[in-house]
C-alpha cells in the first residue's frame, strides 16, 4: 500500500549555515505508530515540524499522497490560559468554521475520550500537568486527523502520570488507528508505544537505524515486565549507542 | 494573603493620624489659613463652594474620560495596525515616541493657539499625555502570544483575523489593562496641566482653573479643596480601572490570582 507521505533526502539548513537535519528518508504508513528516538539536538523535533509544515524543508522533499490532515501535540500543553478546557478543544473546529453547536458536541466527546468529561469548564491553571496534556491531546484529536504528530508530549511529566498517559494514548490509537509520529528521547517509551522506532543521531541530525517491533496492542498489564519488551528495549538501546558512537 | 479589611484599614488609620496631626499643628502654631488651612476648614470650604467646584470637577472629568476613551480607541487601534504591518510600525512608532517624550507644557500653548475650541484643545493635550502607555503596552501584548499557539493557529490555517481575535487580542488583554491603569492617571494629569497652561476659564473651567483662580485671590482653603478633588478623582480612577482589570482577569491570569499557601 502506498504510504501517506514520503520524506526523500529531507534536510534542514539554517541561514547561519548550521545543518540541523540531513538526508532523512522516511515513509509514513497509514495507521502506523512510529517513534523518532534520539538525544537532544538530533533534529527529531525539526523533522516533525517539517512534516507539519511549521518549518520549511531546505533540502529534499516531502511527497504527500493524502491531504495533509494533521493534529499536533507540543512539548508543553500549549493551552490558551483565558479559555476553559472545552473552548480550548473547540479551537481547531472554530478555526475551520464548524458550527458552534457541533463544535461543542465534538469537543465534549474528545474530552470524554481522554477522561476529562468532568472538567469541561475548568481553566488550564486549575488542571494538573497530566490533565493539561490530556486537554492538549483532545484538542489534537478533535478534528479526527489522519496523522497525529507528537513532540515529546510527556517529557515533563512524572513517571506514574507518564505511564498512565502512554496507556491511554495507545488505547486511543488502537481505537481509531490514526498514523502516529511520536518524538521521544526515552527508549522505554518508544518501545512501549510504537510498531516502528526510527533511531536518530546528531551532528547533523540523520536517521541511523530503524527497529520494527511487532507486539500485540493493546498491551497486557504485564507487558512492561515481559521478556519481549526487555529484549526490544535492549535492541533499541544497542542501536542508539551505535548511532551515538558513529 | 493579607485580609481585605487590613488593606483598607491600615492606610485609613495612617490617613486619619496624619490629618489629625495637621489639624493640631495648624491650631497649635496658629498658622493663618491663607498660608496653610487645616483639613477641617478645607472640608468646610469644599461643602460651601460645592456648587462651583462640582461644576469644575464635572468639566475636568469630562476631559479626562474623553481623553482616556480617545487613548483606548486610537492607542488600541494603532497597536493593532502596527502589529499587522511592520512598515506602519517602523514609520509611525518613532513619531508616537516623539509625541510622548516632548513635555506637554512646552507644546500645550501651541495647541491652544491652533485649536479654537478650548475644550478640544485641552482634550488633545490630555490625549497626548495619556495614549502612549496603552500603545506601547498593547503592542508588547499583541506580540507576546505563545509561539507554539501561533504555530497551532498556522497548522489549522487560521486567517489573520482569526489569529487576532482568538489569540493575539486575549493574550494582549493583561498588557492593555496595565497600560490603561497608567493612562487613566495620566489623562487626569494631562487635563489638569493643559488647563494650567490654558489659564483662561470662561464657561468651561475645570479644577485646575479653580486652583489658579483661588491662588490669585488668596483663597487658599478653596485652592486646597480643589486640590483634594483632583487627588480624589485620581484615586477613584485608579481604583475603578484596577477593579475592571481584576474582573476581566480573575479567572485566568496569574496577576489576579489568589494563592493559598
pLDDT for residue B163: 96
pLDDT for residue B220: 94
Interface contact A82-B170, CB threshold 8 A: yes
**B255 contact residues in A (CB cutoff 8 A):** none
pLDDT for residue A200: 96
Residue B138 domain-assigned? yes
Residue B7 domain-assigned? no
**Predicted confidence (pLDDT) at residue B55 exceeds the cutoff of 80:** yes
What distance in Å separates residue A230's CA from the closest CA in chain B? 36
> Which grid cell sits at B90?
517602523
Compute CA A70 distance to the chain's CA centroid, rounded to the nearest angstrom: 11
Q: Which has the minimum average pLDDT: A242-246, B41-45, B85-89, B137-141?
A: A242-246
Residue B200 CB: number of other CB atoms within 10 A?
Answer: 11
Compute CA B5 distance to the chain's CA centroid, rounded to the nearest angstrom: 26
- Beta strand pairing call for A19-28 and A5-13: antiparallel
Q: Which residues numbered 231-260 in B keep a CB inside 8 Å of some CB on A?
A: 251-254, 257
Predicted confidence (pLDDT) per residue in A5-33, tens digit: 999 999 999 989 889 999 999 999 999 99
**B154 contact residues in A (CB cutoff 8 A):** 53-54
Interface contact A125-B173, CB threshold 8 A: no
CA distance B33 to B21: 16
Is the complex ipTM higher than 0.85?
yes
* Full residue range of the structural domain in which residue B244 is found: 52-256
Q: Which has the minimum average pLDDT: B119-133, B150-164, B204-218?
A: B204-218
Residue B106 domain-assigned? yes
**A94 contact residues in B (CB cutoff 8 A):** 166
Question: Which of B155, B166, B167 is the closest to A54 by Cβ?
Answer: B155
Interface contact B166-A125, CB threshold 8 A: no
**Predicted confidence (pLDDT) at residue A112 exceeds the cutoff of 90:** yes
Residue B166 near chain A (CB below 8 Å): yes
Domain count, chain B: 1
Interface contact B156-A53, CB threshold 8 A: no
What distance in Å separates residue B235's CA from the closest CA in chain A? 29
Residue A125 near chain B (CB below 8 Å): yes
Average of per-residue pLDDT across B83-93: 90
Interface contact A78-B153, CB threshold 8 A: no
Predicted confidence (pLDDT) per residue in B135-157, tens digit: 999 999 999 999 999 999 999 99
Residue B26 domain-assigned? no
Percentage of residues in chain A with pLDDT exceeding 70? 100
CA distance B145 to B166: 11
**Predicted confidence (pLDDT) at residue B173 exceeds the cutoff of 80:** yes
**Predicted confidence (pLDDT) at residue A180 exceeds the cutoff of 90:** yes
**Predicted confidence (pLDDT) at residue B202 exceeds the cutoff of 70:** no
Alpha helices in chain B (DSSP H): 4-28, 39-48, 50-70, 76-84, 86-101, 104-114, 118-142, 147-155, 160-163, 169-198, 207-216, 220-249
Could you tell me the CATH number of the domain that includes residue B105? 1.10.3720.10
Residue B195 domain-assigned? yes
Average of per-residue pLDDT across B215-242: 94
What distance in Å separates residue B85's CA from the closest CA in chain A? 22
Residue A54 near chain B (CB below 8 Å): yes
Q: Which has the minimum average pLDDT: A193-197, B110-114, B173-177?
A: B110-114
Interface contact A76-B257, CB threshold 8 A: no
What distance in Å separates residue B66's CA from the closest CA in chain A? 30
Question: Which of A78, A125, A143 is the closest to B148 by Cβ?
Answer: A78
> Which among A95, A98, A121, A126 is the top mutation candidate for probing chain B, defined by the most B β-carbons within 10 Å of its own β-carbon?
A95
Interface contact B152-A70, CB threshold 8 A: no
pLDDT for residue B197: 85
Question: Rounded to the nearest 5°, which phi and psi values hold at A160?
Answer: -65, -45
Is the pLDDT higher at A18 or at A180? A180
- Position A221 confidence tier, pLDDT thresholds 50, 70, 90: confident
Residue B39 domain-assigned? no
Bridge partners for A24 per DSSP = A10
Residue B146 near chain A (CB below 8 Å): yes
Residue A50 near chain B (CB below 8 Å): no
Residue A121 near chain B (CB below 8 Å): no
Q: Which has the minimum average pLDDT: A44-53, B64-73, B103-112?
A: B103-112
**Predicted confidence (pLDDT) at residue B199 exceeds the cutoff of 80:** no
Residue B154 near chain A (CB below 8 Å): yes
> Which among A76, A77, A88, A91 is the top mutation candidate for probing chain B, defined by the most B β-carbons within 10 Å of its own β-carbon?
A91
> Which grid cell sits at B143?
506580540
**Predicted confidence (pLDDT) at residue B236 exceeds the cutoff of 70:** yes
Question: Rounded to the nearest 5°, which phi and psi values hold at B83?
Answer: -80, -15
Interface contact B152-A125, CB threshold 8 A: no
**A72 contact residues in B (CB cutoff 8 A):** 151-152, 155
CA distance A38 to A32: 19
pLDDT for residue B133: 95
Residue B229 domain-assigned? yes
Interface contact A82-B251, CB threshold 8 A: yes
As to burial, measured by CB atoms within 10 angstroms (0-12 exposed, 13-18 middle, 19+ buried), residue A178 is: buried
Interface contact B149-A95, CB threshold 8 A: no
Amino acid at each position: 500500500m502506498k504510504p501517506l507521505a514520503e520524506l526523500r533526502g529531507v534536510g534542514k539548513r539554517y541561514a547561519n549555515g548550521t545543518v540541523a537535519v540531513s538526508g532523512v528518508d522516511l515513509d509514513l504508513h497509514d495507521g502506523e505508530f512510529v517513534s523518532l528516538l534520539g538525544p537532544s539536538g538530533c533534529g527529531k523535533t525539526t523533522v516533525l515540524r517539517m512534516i507539519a509544515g511549521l518549518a520549511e524543508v531546505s533540502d529534499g522533499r516531502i511527497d504527500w499522497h493524502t491531504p495533509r490532515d494533521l493534529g499536533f501535540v507540543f512539548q508543553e500543553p500549549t493551552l490558551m490560559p483565558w479559555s476553559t478546557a472545552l473552548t480550548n478543544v473547540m479551537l481547531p473546529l472554530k478555526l475551520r468554521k464548524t458550527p458552534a453547536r457541533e463544535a461543542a458536541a465534538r469537543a465534549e466527546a474528545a474530552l470524554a475520550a481522554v477522561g476529562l468529561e468532568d472538567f469541561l469548564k475548568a481553566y488550564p491553571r486549575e488542571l494538573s500537568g497530566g490533565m493539561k496534556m490530556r486537554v492538549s491531546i483532545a484538542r489534537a484529536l478533535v478534528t479526527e486527523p489522519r496523522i497525529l504528530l507528537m513532540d515529546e508530549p510527556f517529557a515533563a511529566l512524572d513517571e506514574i502520570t507518564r505511564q498512565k498517559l502512554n496507556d491511554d494514548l495507545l488505547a486511543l490509537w488502537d481505537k481509531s488507528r490514526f498514523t502516529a509520529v511520536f518524538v521521544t528521547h526515552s527508549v522505554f517509551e518508544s518501545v512501549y508505544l510504537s510498531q516502528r522506532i526510527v533511531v536518530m543521531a546528531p551532528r547533523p541530525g540523520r536517521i541511523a537505524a530503524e527497529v520494527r517491533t511487532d507486539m500485540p496492542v493493546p498491551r497486557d498489564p504485564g507487558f512492561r515486565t515481559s521478556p519481549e519488551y526487555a529484549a526490544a528495549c535492549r535492541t533499541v538501546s544497542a542501536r542508539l549507542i551505535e548511532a551515538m558512537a558513529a | 494573603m493579607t485580609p481585605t479589611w487590613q488593606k483598607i484599614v491600615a492606610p485609613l488609620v495612617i490617613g486619619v493620624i496624619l490629618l489629625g496631626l495637621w489639624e493640631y499643628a495648624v491650631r497649635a502654631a496658629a498658622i493663618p489659613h491663607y498660608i496653610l488651612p487645616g483639613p477641617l476648614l478645607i472640608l468646610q470650604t469644599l461643602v460651601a463652594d460645592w456648587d462651583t467646584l462640582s461644576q469644575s470637577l464635572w468639566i475636568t472629568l469630562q476631559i479626562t474620560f474623553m481623553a482616556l476613551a480617545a487613548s483606548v480607541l486610537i492607542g488600541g487601534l494603532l497597536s493593532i495596525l502596527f502589529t499587522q504591518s511592520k512598515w506602519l510600525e517602523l514609520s509611525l512608532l518613532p513619531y508616537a515616541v516623539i509625541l510622548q517624550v516632548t513635555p506637554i507644557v512646552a507644546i500645550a500653548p501651541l495647541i491652544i493657539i491652533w485649536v479654537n475650541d478650548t475644550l478640544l484643545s485641552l482634550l488633545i493635550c490630555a490625549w497626548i499625555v495619556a495614549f502612549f502607555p496603552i500603545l506601547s503596552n498593547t503592542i508588547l501584548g499583541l506580540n507576546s502570544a505563545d509561539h507554539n499557539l501561533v504555530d497551532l493557529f498556522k497548522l489549522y490555517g487560521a486567517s489573520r483575523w482569526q489569529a487576532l481575535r482568538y489569540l493575539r487580542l486575549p493574550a494582549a488583554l493583561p498588557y492593555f489593562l496595565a497600560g490603561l491603569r497608567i493612562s487613566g492617571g495620566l489623562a487626569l494629569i494631562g487635563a489638569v496641566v493643559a488647563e494650567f497652561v490654558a489659564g483662561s476659564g470662561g464657561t468651561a473651567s475645570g479644577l485646575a482653573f479653580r486652583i489658579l483662580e483661588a491662588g490669585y485671590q488668596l483663597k487658599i482653603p478653596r485652592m486646597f479643596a480643589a486640590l483634594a478633588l483632583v487627588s480624589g478623582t485620581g484615586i477613584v480612577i485608579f481604583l475603578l480601572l484596577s477593579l475592571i482589570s481584576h474582573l476581566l482577569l480573575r479567572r485566568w491570569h496569574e496577576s489576579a490570582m489568589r494563592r493559598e499557601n
